[in-house]
Amino acid sequence: MNHPVFTPSVSIPSARLAETDPELSCLLAAETARQRDKIRLIASENYASAAVREACSSHLTNQYSEGYPGARYYEGQQIVDQVERLAIARAKELFGAEHVNVQPYSGSPANLAVYLAFLKPGETVLAMRLAHGGHLTHGSKVSITGKHWNVVQYGLDPETKRLDYDAIRALALEHRPKLLIAGHSAYPRQIDFAAFRAIADEVGSLLMVDMAHFAGLVAAGAHPSPVPFADVVTTTTHKSLRGPRGAMILCRAEHAAKIDKAVFPGLQGGPHNAITAAIAVALKEALQPDFAEYGRQCVANARALAERLIEHGFDIVTGGTDNHLVLVDLRSKGIAGKPLAAALDRAGLVANYNSVPWDDRPPQDPSGLRLGTPSMTTRGFREGEFRQVADWIAGIVASGLDEDVIARISAEALALASSFPMP
């Protein structure tokens, strides 16, 4: 009997990206250069390590794994089960959590999974108002969370611009939420998790903390941990935690089955296995002693930035910061956030315009600027470099966004960025 000789009828592309798709390859090279040459100050961004990026592009991207380790709907899970278990074990160790789900595709689906796990449509949630620093997924009207659930929102104290726990308690007593959410995207202070726990216990609600922004600081010991207080903690993995774009849900053991069922099959299909591997790598990095130093430095840098901006006469929301972000209220400077952010970008300083509490301008053209320290702390910036950044921002504002000043600063910013290589 003659055995046929296998000749593939379709050739499998083996060339690298630059040969297969030079157009796209050029775009990626340009983005790498942009991240290298600019001073990146977006509070939700970072630089993942080469090891994390390598795991993201591994062959795990080829594989389907619906289900959980030891309970999958596909064969061929011998290796990926170990990968996912490693990621889970490291997350438990790092945060002291009883149960961890590493499969959510990103922060927004992680939060939606918590709603799905505990709430029927129309039930009541109490969460922070977007305009005061909350997140879209905390019940904003434009988010599915605000359309399918009855979300009551708390804000800040008008005087101190800080969380007002008495006011939150009063709202909780009035509305009896099934779920109380703490966490933010633009609040420059620590949260009193014990106070939130007490409110949740008093009204019989579940407490979820969304630590997407400050998870890296928690891992580093530079911010109190919500894990001992919350029923459920959600987090992205790509912000201050410095991993791949993804998310995790940490919860008490009693909620494990509900959370896992909500993520899969409730909301998602197969997990992104390469990302799971990259999360495992990032968690290993976060368990090293130098990560604690990074977290401490993120906070020290944010304080130095805020203090110098105050010396330049800027109005900083709450008068300072105790985390990785600084919120600048530009109203006293007579300039809006959007034109300033655009001018800063031309000067090589990348930030985002942001609403400030009780903003009289619309969210698409607000009065504030949000600045964050994680990215440049990862590249080695310390207080001195962040004071320099504050001086440049002040110079650009004082010049009335003069293009000659912007051009001079862009050359100086490029020179500074060049001496702090990116991973």
Ligand X SMILES: *Cc1c(COP(=O)(O)O)cnc(C)c1O
Residues making contact with ligand X (CB under 6 A)? 44, 106-108, 111, 135, 137, 183-185, 210, 212-213, 236
Q: Which residue reads 């650009």 in tokens?
A: 396
Residue tagged active-site, from 124, 145, 234, 236: 236
Nearer to ligand X, 274 or 417 (CB): 274
Rounded least distance, CB 234 to ligand X, Å = 7
Contact 124, 203 (CB under 8 A): no
Rounded least distance, CB 162 to ligand X, Å = 17
Nearer to ligand X, 238 or 308 (CB): 238
In the three-class reduction of DSSP (H, G, I as helix; E, B as strand; rest coil), residue 152 is classed as: strand
The count of C-alpha atoms lying within 13 angstroms of the C-alpha of 12, restricted to the half-sphere facing its C-beta, is 3
Residue tagged active-site, from 38, 40, 189, 239: 239
The count of C-alpha atoms lying within 13 angstroms of the C-alpha of 162, restricted to the half-sphere facing its C-beta, is 12
Q: Can 124 be counted among the known catalytic residues?
A: no
Residue tagged active-site, from 92, 245, 284, 331: 245
Rounded least distance, CB 299 to ligand X, Å = 17
Q: Which residue reads 């998870």 in tokens?
A: 215
In the three-class reduction of DSSP (H, G, I as helix; E, B as strand; rest coil), residue 206 is classed as: strand
Give the angle 256-173-224 at the CA atoms, nearest 5°.
50
Beta bridge partners of 328: 316, 369
Rounded least distance, CB 402 to ligand X, Å = 34
Rounded least distance, CB 113 to ligand X, Å = 12
Nearer to ligand X, 343 or 351 (CB): 351
**Distance separating alpha carbons of residues 40 and 210, to the nearest angstrom:** 24
Nearer to ligand X, 295 or 348 (CB): 295
Contact 183, 153 (CB under 8 A): no
Nearer to ligand X, 234 or 367 (CB): 234
Find the residue with minimal CB distance to ligand X.
107
- Return the H-helix or E-strand segment holding 251: strand 247-251
Report the greatest alpha carbon distance in the chain.
Answer: 89
DSSP assignment of 163-195, as one string? B-HHHHHHHHHHH--SEEEEE-SS--S---HHH
Nearer to ligand X, 77 or 111 (CB): 111
Rounded least distance, CB 373 to ligand X, Å = 15
Residue tagged active-site, from 21, 45, 54, 66: 66
Q: Can 245 be counted among the known catalytic residues?
A: yes
Q: Can 377 be counted among the known catalytic residues?
A: no
N-term to C-term CA, the chain? 58
Q: Sign of dihedral through CA atoms 294, 298, 299, 305?
A: positive
Q: Can 160 be counted among the known catalytic residues?
A: no
Nearer to ligand X, 326 or 406 (CB): 326
Q: Can 412 be counted among the known catalytic residues?
A: no
The structure tokens listed for 282 are: 């990032």
Q: Can 64 be counted among the known catalytic residues?
A: yes
φ, ψ dihedrals at 10, nearest 5°: -120, 130
Rounded least distance, CB 144 to ligand X, Å = 12
Contact 346, 406 (CB under 8 A): yes
- Known catalytic residues are 64, 66, 210, 236, 239, 245
